[in-house]
């Protein structure tokens, strides 16, 4: 008789270069789309209306980019981060192909870096994760680094290797998941805003105004929808006795809330092309009200494309604090105490 | 740099006769149907089972009438009522064509009335709103009046114009969203009740018996599903400091709960053909338990149709009070303190 | 004027041999699948991914067996158990044919046993319930016994008849809802576990490790999804004054939670072929954290099939207690105070 429940991998179980084929493949459907919509209230026209998507060049509405991300990410959890202490960050995340209802996603990760911490109790694992559709076409590519517990303090860990992660996804790598858009057919009134790519400027700050309060049922329904099994989100009995005394809201839930809130000010930023980096700078628990604001870090043209342009955004989510004053930090300071998410990403807008 | 977040229109921004093309078009799917079902527990056979619908003459199960209403209504919110103080009522609401999974809805409103209040702080806006499917066929038509804040007390408002709203949708205008029904194929046992149109009498009162307690997660999930962005439903931080100290439940959520409860006593009232008027007579907050009862105001035959007949119903929803005593009011009195909804509408039943 | 709301049947209303055709037929869709997944976090690959299902011999992912059970069961509630005092148990439950998105389910029950209690206030009703798809092919078959209130203590009840319910579904009756599986195409890595049927032994105990806390919104959303109208689950006003002071969580919700948790240790037990018996040994309320463990009661080969084998499992769900110590009872003792569910069922795994 063997122990058949999955205890998850500990730091010393990871080996550089190992490929991990993750369970469980998952067919994404209009049912998932409806749930995602109901959990975040997202309103981007391309993802909301097949007719809108078809007019501009998609075969139908694609699945929301972050829903794709969360589903692929969720698959990696049982193998990568079941024994995580802290999710440190993402890097070089690119959306490579659109995903449509009916597509089936699966995921593979490669261990690309390992660094034991000096306390010998934890270490940082760097993985390169890939999401694929049913035709084995890659739809998503990203790096993640996460601090993982050791099973045994005395276990010898692999030699340290810290990979060179991309700081920013270069503009030349953006847009493969976005078909050529017929911008004349793009109905700005129906999309909810007159502002095109050219209307945004580097340094511009946008308060997304609205706040959304999180309920326990909501973040758990979302996180299970992604088949993310990280225990800290679901088990009040255990978490009640742990460091926060509360179930922790999945960081991706905050990303999706911030993205949905960002519609108010960025209604035509219909596609997330890449995530340069993301940090969950403070834990979030149910009953928090999430606000968000964005700064345009960069505006960029895509090589060989005149249909869409890219904005590099930094979106900050804050809890229990409206963002009229753009709470964040100065370059060398700590984060504002209300800040919970610092997300650096590329979006595409019609030109 | 322009302010890109939508501040919503204030009373002085509305001009008589102006047409407003609302964002965001939305494809309705079986995912929305499942969520709607799970939020209200609705059990009308026509909307629940494709086979039942097909036997009597529909191509498949149509989308629940109130789900159509809420989706169209939700689109109007960012333009009409983001700065509303109070939703005063509906009138002349007609369901014109059935909506099916896969259809994409969009909405247009015309400002048909304006009346500034004497305090110069608010005014009443009357809109005529229309919902359309992807073929530009109109599926919904209604009037709404809502009290909206002024941005600037001193701003000059448009000249007063109060439209003549229909008190009751005439019987001649009912039924275009209902195909001719094969009543011999209508299985009353499977539908859950033996009572046909002819079994109901004017003046009959029906207690719908059951009560449903509302959770914060539920009403927010529902309201986001409709892409309704009214802030009072979602933001506990701000609402906690406002007049009620609580998030307000979207009035349409109560309508849908009352309609679902009304199955118990009106199981064969499978189609809402029109809403004559509706008033949210008291605010509802999470943790309230909603009950409902109905009075048959009128029974009517439809001209040139002998498959279905119409009942004009008045459904009263009450909070935290069973409706065995039909709580309401006498004609000249105030509402019963438990009453939260007073809805006057036409339903169709097989003859 | 007749009383049109359904008061439910009381014990004296049941007659031996009577067939009851239940409302409401229901088309099951990918929307229901998404909701079910989001409520329980289920991860069995066959139900999660069309591609996985197709590779091994299904036309597409079948609907989760317990979702089928809950939908059929929900239909029986308005006729059988609206006036129930206690759900006593299930027996002889067999899944006969797979159900796919788009199928429409309906249900019929026959009264097969009656036994008035000596207090004359209640009696036990035994029903034989059947679920059918749109082609009138039977998909589900089970017995249930439930204690139902009498309307009138003095009413004369039918003569006592206690049916002989099957203790265990024989192995010869398992597997009709499972097509012949191409086990070479079954990808164990993608399914999440290397353990086949032959890796499990009689007497083996498996702790499913994880705990899931229940929210009011979640169990009500689930129970309404099944169109289950039992009042104790929804109405805090009335239940607050009743014996527990709380809304009661639908027992089937616990079954589905336990089944989803059991993935961790039984990832390849992709099909529930039969339920031998089930007892809800203690009530569950929101805020409870559910854990589960299983014992392999029996391993069995299916006659004439070498693709899959059967395990007879006893799964115990416990509230607010991790199952590392396998809380249950000795044969003659009371249940452990944490135990809430004792489920005896057959699952199939690839050989």
> How many angstroms separate the CA of residue B136 from the nearest CA in chain A?
12
Q: Which residues of C touch B30 (CB under 8 A)?
A: 29-31
Residue C269 at interface with chain A, using a CB cutoff of 8 Å: no
According to DSSP, the residues that pair with A316 across neighbouring strands are A293, A342
Least trusted range by pLDDT, from A8-17, A115-124, A324-333? A324-333
Of B1, B78, B234, the CB nearest to A212: B234
- Closest by Cα among B266, B289, B225, B230 to B349: B266
Q: Is the pLDDT of residue C331 over 70?
A: no
**Which class is A11-350 in CATH?**
alpha beta
Least trusted range by pLDDT, from B220-224, B300-304, C217-221, C334-338? C334-338
Q: A205: which residues sit within 8 A by CB, 6+ positions away?
A: A293, A294, A295, A296, A326
Tell me how far apart the alpha carbons of residues B340 and B338 are, in angstroms, rounded to a whole number: 6
- Closest by Cα among C302, C291, C316 to C351: C302
Q: Is the pLDDT of residue C323 over 90?
A: no
Average pLDDT, chain B: 95
Q: Which residues of A touch C39 (CB under 8 A)?
A: 221, 224
Q: Identify the chains in contact with C, defined as 3+ C-beta pairs within 8 A.
A: A, B
> How many angstroms separate the CA of residue B153 from the nearest CA in chain C?
42
Residue C298 at interface with chain A, using a CB cutoff of 8 Å: no
Q: Do C266 and A4 touch (CB under 8 A)?
A: yes
Q: What is the ipTM of this complex?
A: 0.96
Residue C235 at interface with chain B, using a CB cutoff of 8 Å: yes
Q: C281: which residues sit within 8 A by CB, 6+ positions away?
A: C335, C339, C340, C341, C342
Q: Do A234 and C218 touch (CB under 8 A)?
A: no
Q: Give the tens place of pLDDT for each residue, A82-134.
A: 999 888 899 999 999 999 999 999 999 999 999 999 999 999 999 999 999 99
pLDDT of res. B330:
55
Q: C125: which residues sit within 8 A by CB, 6+ positions away?
A: C11, C14, C80, C111, C113, C114, C145, C146, C147, C148
Tell me how far apart the alpha carbons of residues C164 and A95 are, in angstroms, rounded to a whole number: 60
| Contact between C329 and C318 (Cβ < 8 Å) | no
Tell me how far apart the alpha carbons of residues C278 and A111 are, in angstroms, rounded to a whole number: 44
Summarize the confidence of residues B157-179 as an average pLDDT: 95
Q: Give the tens place of pLDDT for each residue, C131-183.
A: 999 999 999 999 999 999 999 999 988 889 999 999 999 999 999 999 999 99
- Closest by Cα among A20, A26, A25, A23 to A109: A20
Tell me how far apart the alpha carbons of residues B231 and A213 are, in angstroms, rounded to a whole number: 11
Residue C221 φ then ψ, to 5°: -60, -45
pTM check: above 0.95? yes
Average pLDDT, chain C: 95
pLDDT of res. C313:
98
> How many angstroms separate the CA of residue C144 from the nearest CA in chain A?
31
> How many angstroms separate the CA of residue C225 from the nearest CA in chain A?
13
Indicate the domain borders of chain A.
11-350
Residue A264 at interface with chain B, using a CB cutoff of 8 Å: yes
Among A154-158, B83-87, C220-224, C322-326, top mean pLDDT goes to C220-224
Q: Give the tens place of pLDDT for each residue, A171-204.
A: 999 999 999 999 999 999 999 999 999 999 999 9
pLDDT of res. B157:
80
Q: Is the pLDDT of residue C259 over 90?
A: yes
Summarize the confidence of residues A277-304 as an average pLDDT: 96
Residue A219 φ then ψ, to 5°: -70, -30
Q: Do C5 and B30 touch (CB under 8 A)?
A: no
CATH architecture of B11-153+166-350: Roll (3.10)
Beta-sheet strands, E only, within A51-103: 84-95
Tell me how far apart the alpha carbons of residues C200 and C310 are, in angstroms, rounded to a whole number: 10
- In DSSP notation, B132-173 reads E-TTS-EEEEEEEEEEEE-S-TTSPPPPPB-----SS--GGG
Q: Do B236 and A61 touch (CB under 8 A)?
A: no
- Closest by Cα among B328, A23, B168, B307 to C193: A23
Q: Which two tokens stand for residue C40?
A: 């329980």
* Region at C120 (left for phi over 0; alpha for psi -120 to 50; beta for the rest): left
Q: How many other β-carbons are positioned within 10 Å of the β-carbon of residue B163?
A: 17
Strands B339-350 and B271-280: antiparallel
Q: Identify the chains in contact with B, defined as 3+ C-beta pairs within 8 A.
A: A, C
Burial of C198 by CB count in 10 Å (0-12 exposed, 13-18 middle, 19+ buried)? exposed
Summarize the confidence of residues C46-69 as an average pLDDT: 98
Q: Do C234 and B216 touch (CB under 8 A)?
A: no
> How many angstroms separate the CA of residue C304 from the nearest CA in chain A?
27
Q: Which residues of C touch A35 (CB under 8 A)?
A: 34-35, 38
Three-state SS string over B9-36 comes to CCHHHCCCCCEEECCCCEECCHHHHHHH
Q: Which residues of C touch A5 (CB under 8 A)?
A: 206-209, 264-265
Q: Is the pLDDT of residue A323 over 90?
A: no
> How many angstroms separate the CA of residue B325 from the nearest CA in chain A?
35
First to last CA, chain C: 63
Q: How many other β-carbons are positioned within 10 Å of the β-carbon of residue C161?
A: 13
């Amino acid at each position: 008789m063997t122990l058949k429940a999955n205890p998850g991998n500990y730091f010393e179980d990871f080996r550089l270069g190992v490929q991990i084929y993750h369970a469980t493949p998952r067919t994404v459907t209009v049912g998932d789309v409806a749930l995602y919509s109901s959990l975040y209230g997202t309103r981007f026209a391309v993802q909301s209306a097949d007719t809108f998507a078809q007019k501009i060049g998609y075969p139908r509405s694609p699945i929301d980019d972050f829903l794709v991300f969360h589903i692929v990410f969720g698959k990696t959890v049982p193998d990568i981060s079941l024994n995580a202490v802290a999710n440190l960050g993402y890097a070089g995340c690119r959306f490579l192909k659109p995903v449509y209802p009916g597509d089936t996603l699966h995921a593979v990760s490669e261990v690309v870096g390992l660094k034991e911490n000096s306390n010998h109790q934890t270490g940082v694992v760097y993985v390169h994760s890939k999401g694929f559709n049913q035709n084995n076409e890659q739809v998503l590519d990203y790096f993640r680094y996460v601090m993982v517990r050791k099973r045994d303090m005395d276990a010898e860990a692999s030699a340290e290797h810290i990979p060179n992660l991309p700081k920013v996804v270069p503009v030349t790598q953006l847009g493969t998941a976005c078909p050529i858009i017929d911008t004349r057919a793009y109905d700005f009134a129906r999309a909810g805003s007159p502002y095109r790519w050219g209307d945004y400027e580097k340094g511009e700050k946008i308060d997304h105004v609205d706040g959304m309060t999180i309920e326990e049922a909501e973040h758990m329904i979302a996180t299970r929808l992604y088949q993310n099994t990280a225990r800290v989100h679901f088990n009040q009995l255990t978490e009640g006795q742990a460091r926060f005394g509360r179930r922790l809201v999945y960081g991706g839930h905050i990303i999706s809330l911030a993205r949905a809130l960002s519609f108010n000010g960025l209604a035509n930023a219909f596609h997330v092309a890449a995530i340069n980096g993301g940090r969950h700078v403070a834990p979030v628990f149910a009953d928090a009200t999430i606000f968000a604001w964005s700064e345009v870090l960069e505006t960029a043209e895509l090589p060989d494309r005149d249909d869409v342009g890219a904005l590099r955004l930094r979106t900050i989510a804050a809890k229990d604090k409206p963002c009229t004053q753009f709470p964040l930090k100065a370059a060398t300071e700590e984060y504002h105490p209300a800040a919970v998410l610092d997300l650096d990403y590329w979006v595409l807008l019609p030109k």
